[in-house]
Amino acid sequence: GENVEQHPSTLSVQEGDSAVIKCTYSDSASNYFPWYKQELGKRPQLIIDIRSNVGEKKDQRIAVTLNKTAKHFSLHITETQPEDSAVYFCAAFKRGGADGLTFGKGTHLIIQP
């Protein structure tokens, strides 16, 4: 089955600086990689996603890169703001058994004012 590793588990950055979160996956057949932001007690919210036929995708301050050969993908947040503070999960869509998302363990992003 799919296994997704996510690092770091906690990331503290100064407001205005950039944040980078990295994930690796194990199943080369995985073809969809979303990133979710989750605030305490709330549902995961999709912030950006990338499919395996694309190497990079950007949406305003958020970008994701995918290296299929190395089986890793990264989330980049520029010009961080206090409202970016949350837990971020990467995920990979897997097939087999019950098709669905396998999540990384999450990164607690803290934006220091």
> Rounded to the nearest whole angstrom, what is the least distance from the CB of residue 9 to other proteins in the complex?
10
Residues ≥6 apart with Cβ < 8 Å to 55: 65, 66, 67
CA–CA dist 85, 82 (Å, integer): 6
| Residues 22-61 as x/- pattern, contact with other proteins by CB under 8 A | ---------xx-x-------xxxxx--x-xx---------
> Rounded to the nearest whole angstrom, what is the least distance from the CB of residue 26 to other proteins in the complex?
15
Question: Residue 107 carries which side chain, given as an amino acid letter?
Answer: T
Q: Are 55 and 49 in contact (CB under 8 A)?
A: no
102 binds other proteins (CB under 8 A): yes
Interacting residues toward other proteins by CB under 8 A: 1, 31-32, 34, 42-46, 49, 51-52, 89, 93, 97-106
